[in-house]
Amino acid sequence: MLISLDWLKQYVDIKENIKELDNALTMIGQEVEAIDIQGKDLERVVIGEIVEYDRHPNSDRLTLLKVNVGEAEPIQIVCGAPNHKLGDKVVVARIGAVLPGNFKIKKSKIRDVESFGMLCSEVELGLGENGDGIIILPQDAPVGEEYRKYAGLDDVIFELEITPNRPDCLSHIGIAREIAAYYGRKVKYPVANFTETIESTTKFAKVNIEDKERCKRYMGRVITNVKVGESPEWLKKRIRAMGMHPINNIVDITNFVMFEYNQPMHAFDLDKVKNGSVVVRAAKPGEKIITLDGVERELNNEELVIADEERPIAIAGIIGGVESEITAETKNIFLEVAYFEPSNIRKTARRLGIITESSYRNERGMDIEGIEEASERAVALIAEIAGGEVLDGAIDRYIEKPKKCEIPLSFEKLNKFVGKELPEDVVGKILSNLGFGIKTLSQDTLVVIPPVYRGDLTRTADIYEEIIRMYGFDNIEAIMPVEDIRAGLREASVELADDARKIIREVGLQEVVNYSFIPSNVVDILNIKDPVIPISNPLSEDMAILRPTLIWSLLANIRDNINRNQFDLRLAEVSRVFTPADELANEELRICIGLAGRPERTLWNPKPESYDFYTIKGYVEKVMEYLGVTKYRLSRTENPNFHPGRSAEISIGNEVVGVFGEIHPDVQEKMDIKRERVYIAELDLAKLDKYRKKTIKYERIVKYPEVTRDLAIVLDRDVLVGDMVESIKKISSLIEKVDIFDVYEGDKIDSGKKSVAISIVLRDKEKTLDEKQINDVVEKVLNMIAKEYKGEIRK
């Protein structure tokens, strides 16, 4: 946003120099990106008068002049321009001047005649596009005066970085309000004076808002018998200062008020509006409009347009149409000032690829209450400059008035937030200077009512920020707070997740981190029957839902690694899964382990075997042990994602806390995982946390020896060996550990049978076991196996 210092001074008294003002703007949050001192390239450029006029002796096209520049003797200049005569007041670049483009003026010889300067055109001074002739000034122009001072080119232009939440600062009055509040001064608002005729506006124009969702207010006024022409010099100067070219007095006035009030507006040639009927509506599919930039645009997305009875005449809030534009022949105008829904302006401007000063402001949100004031200011200027007649009354369609926000402010909380006790009268003055309404709620609390144009203020913290930036950050001393600093306890779920991550690293697994978003087709791949949570605005199809399981992510990791010829895969992830809930979502912390391939071949392991069911089982048991969960049961699972004969679920009591095993071939095929079997385990950490032994007790090393007995038991093939092992452990307190070290099925035993070799470790912590104790325990084990599992010693 460009701000002219000369223009700004019309609304607020500014006594500070450029550096001080730069600092003040930055301190109140309006960061200055650049400062352009106009006229800095016009040093030694002065006003002169042609006092002698002759033809160049060696050229028919050149003139030889004597020019009075306010010194004792006139200077000699050779000129090639066609538009000057004796007595003209001109602009002279004297020797030593450096014009825009680093063009240095030196003493020179032109066709053997010396020249001591140059008469300048607009192009040479960087002030315009007219290079056909030199600048001719009025006869009252003072000879010898600096041209930049005479032409008002000694302005300073500040380029400000206005944040998106402060559209009110995209104008000179907006910045004037900020400066006035900071320095405690008054804002001098412009006065709009004009006389209305007895004829009513509604006689010549009518307004109908069909799309009331995207247009909350529309005001129109009619000015007749205007004289469209060139703008006065002061107005052109203001427009140029904003980086724009003057067009004509009507258009320049609408732009001037936009930069003054931050209120875009548009003037239509009323005689080109069919029956003076203005309709705010959605565009019809296939409608076309030639916009002011000369481009024909087809409207297909129900863009908001301003139309008459036949066709669209403007794209609302963005750009006008050629068919209703102001021209030199325009006599009667319809002035539009409106509030359009910002999100609609933003979408339409991006889709059509049109970014204008109007769209830039409308998409950030206007001051809906300030529409009338801006309209009257523009009408007054049109009546003054273009000589128009203002018809009686305005057409004002006000659909929805904004609700004023009331924000409580506690002095005690404010002072605690700031870190300094601010006097109540100082706080009250700051709020009043900012234009806030104030009501007393209690002795310590105020109710603050921001003006409508401050839509960014909605909560108490916003008011704190306003007070601090106006009080001055440099006025708040840097004092270290005195706090009773103690280490706080970590949240239980965070501690559990950290413990799990530490465990997977300690058991030799590689931790992976995946996105919580997964493709929607995972529901079919993993046979998920429960509802999932879709993402309303997914970044891509691969991130369409929140994952209800970690299994797909580990399978995708394994697939991608195998495709890159990595075959020693021992991966694990600790993260959350998500399921629908009444308000937000249920988040469950889980650990997932994935195995595939075989260990790397080494000198001591030249023919490594592939990972199998017992490998994943070992990792699960080790993780459970490290977590402190010792009592659990393994049983066959019917989970359709796992191989039915090579998988198990983990239960504690009646609660299933996890599942592990070989992934079903159908799932592998859908995941496009080839060549390797994949083993996955997924454990619910939140459920496991309930059964953890969180207190670690030291147990001294037992000095008495262990005794091992190996048994080969023949069982029916369908007997679950895990259940049998659990039963063996319960027989005697002397049984320390039970391991399975072989399972055999073949021609050396009966069909339908299997041989299970188990190793039983016995130990008494108080004394050495004798043979009788050992034999008693073994006999009890064999009896229990025979009775409950129909097993017998293999002969």
Q: Map tokens 């060696």 to a residue.
A: 58
Q: Does the annotation list 672 as a binding residue?
A: no
Q: Map tokens 């909560």 to a residue.
A: 459
491-509 burial code (b ≥16 CB/10 A, e <16): eeeeebbebbbebbeebeb
- Give the number of other Cβ atoms within 10 Å of residue 146's Cβ: 17
What tokens appear for 140 in the block?
Answer: 């009252």
Those residues with Cβ within 8 angstroms of residue 432's Cβ, 6 or more apart along the chain or in another chain: 438
Q: Map tokens 């002072």 to a residue.
A: 415
48-59 burial code (b ≥16 CB/10 A, e <16): bbbeebeebeee
Per-position DSSP letters for 397-453, written without gaps between them: EE--PPPPP-EEEEHHHHHHHHTS---HHHHHHHHHHTT-EEEE-SSSEEEEE--TT
Contact 681, 620 (CB under 8 A): yes
Q: Does the annotation list 456 as a binding residue?
A: yes
Integer angstrom CA distances of residue 80 from 55, 69, 93, 761: 10, 19, 15, 115
| Helical (H) or strand (E) element with 156 | strand 156-161
For the chain, report the end-to-end CA distance as a whole number of angstroms.
96
Query: Rounded to an integer, what distance in angstroms lies between the CA atom of residue 520 and that of residue 385?
Result: 64
Reduce the secondary structure of 304-338 to three states and give it as a string: EEEECCCCEEEECCCEEEHHHCCCCCCCCEEEEEE
Contact 92, 105 (CB under 8 A): no
Those residues with Cβ within 8 angstroms of residue 438's Cβ, 6 or more apart along the chain or in another chain: 428, 431, 432, 446, 447, 448, 449
Q: Does the annotation list 462 as a binding residue?
A: yes
| φ, ψ for residue 175, nearest 5 deg | -70, -35
Query: Rounded to an integer, what distance in angstroms lies between the CA atom of residue 497 and that of residue 79?
Result: 85
Per-position DSSP letters for 243-273, written without gaps between them: T-----HHHHHHHHHHHHHS--EEEEEGGGS
Query: Rounded to an integer, what distance in angstroms lies between the CA atom of residue 336 and that of residue 314?
Result: 11
Q: Does the annotation list 465 as a binding residue?
A: yes
Query: Rounded to an integer, what distance in angstroms lies between the CA atom of residue 529 and that of residue 742?
Result: 38
DSSP structure class, residue 726: H
Strand order in the sheet with 735-744: 735-744, 753-762, 707-716, 792-793
Query: Rounded to an integer, what distance in angstroms lies between the CA atom of residue 668 and that of residue 47?
Result: 88
Binding positions are 456, 462, 465-466
Binding annotation for Mg(2+): 456, 462, 465-466
